[in-house]
Structures are given as C-alpha cells and as structure tokens.
Amino acid sequence: MTETTPRLSDEALMARVHALPWWHSITLRPGVVTPGGKSAHIMAEEEAAIFAPLALQGRSVLDIGAWNGGFSFAAKRRGAARVLATDSYIWKHAYWRGREGLELARAELGLDVETAIVDPPALTPEIGIFDVVMFLGVFYHLYDPLDVMERLRGVTRQLLIVETHQDALDDPRPGMVFYPGDVLLGDATNWWGPNPALMLRLLQRLGFRRIHYRDHPTLGRVRGIYAAFTDEAEPSLHAGFDANWTDLTAPGAVDALLVRT
C-alpha cells in the first residue's frame, strides 16, 4: 500500500507560498495564486501568445531559465509528453530560491515536469534533443549570448522560442545595444538589447529557416518573441500562426518593424 502526503489546507499552502519570493504568478488551486513579480495577467497573455499557435501534444519541451516553472507547467498542461525545466543562477540564488518555488508548485499541481540544474553557457546535447526549446527572458542576461544561441541550436529538433528585451528599434542594421553596469532597469545582469534585424540574421546563421516574430502582448516592441523553425519542423507543430505574427524572412518584413523617430 502506497502512502500519500496529506494535502495542505489553503491556509498552510498560503503560508508556504508567502515564505518564498516569486517571479511567476501561478494558480496552485482556486483562490491560491503565487504573488509573482510578473502578474497573473501578463503570465496569461504571454502563455497565450507563445503557446496558442503550437500543437504540443506528444512533443518534448525544454524550458531554459525556468525560474518558478510557470511556462514549464503551461507546456505540460497543453499536452507536451515530456517537459524538462532547467535553471542555475535563479535556482541557486540566496534570495530568489527559484527552485524551491518550482518544487512547491510542482507538488501542488501534480504535473510531471522534470528538473535539471543547467547553466546556459554549459548547455550540451548530452541533456537531450527537444522538439521545442523555450528561451524566455534569458538572452539579454547573458554576457555572451551568441555562444549560448549556438548551444541552443544543438539541442533544438524543431522549434526555438526566444523572448527578449529589445533596443535599437529604429536601426535597419543588425545590432545590439550593450548596457554596462546596471544601466538597464537597475539590474547589473542585463547586458544586451538586440533588434529584430540582429535576431533574424543570427537565427538564420544558426540554420533556422523559417522565423516568425511578434511584439510582446502587453509590453509592445520593447520586448519581442521569436519562433525559429528548423528544416525538420513538422507543419502540424506550427499550423496556428496568425496575423499577430510576422514572417521575418519575407521581403521587407524587418523594415516594416522599424520604429520611426
């Protein structure tokens, strides 16, 4: 006979929730939502923007920089056969304790999401090759994002999704703005602001053939979402892309995104 852990009362669960700092707002049960720095509204809008076009049923997903696991859990809820959530900096951080939040949420939600401590600059195919790789809110935190992007290509079978802060939006040339110290939002871990032309050329250089782009659903063009497909991508995976997305490989597409000043 297998013993099961007694379910926490709402009050006990809330006490455990409020003992941790949170970045993701995650609904653990009716009336119990983690108090994330990213609001439940923004989380819902981002989830819809990223996942609505995709058919994840039966596919494998790697979430790099998973933090509290909000998008890892979303992928599992949407039918992914396997989800691996990875992080390093936030999971080991003395204040943020991101993995503790993920573990609490995983236990309460009962979702089969795997975890592994992986620092993006050390990512290798030994971790596995995944149908879908999510790289959300990480690019601009990397001192050397180009090396990490090459590593991401090595673990992506069909689709890489990148969500990032952006800059130089009035420049048609591929480029990134460098932020020394804590220039960007008072955070010394923010290093780069790429523009869409840079992201297009970089993703093409890495061998992605079809690249879609959309503005962030609530923050606009200051943040962008890129969906980059390999030659192996099955049409059924990405049949749901709509008018919110721009095919960046189409003639004139990048110029159309320029912010005129």
Query: How far apart, in whole angstroms, are the C-alpha atoms of residue 216 and residue 93?
Result: 27
pTM: 0.96
- For residue range 12-47, what is the model confidence (pLDDT) as tens digits? 999 999 999 999 999 999 999 999 999 999 999 999
Task: Tabulate helix, strand, coil % of the chain (nearest 5).
Answer: 30, 25, 45
φ/ψ of residue 98, rounded to 5: -60, -35
Angle CA 110–50–101, to nearest 5: 35
- For residue range 84-120, what is the model confidence (pLDDT) as tens digits? 999 999 999 999 999 999 999 999 999 999 999 999 9
Q: Which domains does the chain have, with CATH numbers?
A: 44-256 (3.40.50.150)
Please list the alpha-helical segments (H only) found in the chain: 10-17, 40-51, 70-77, 89-92, 98-109, 145-153, 196-205, 253-256
Query: How far apart, in whole angstroms, are the C-alpha atoms of residue 148 and residue 137?
Result: 14
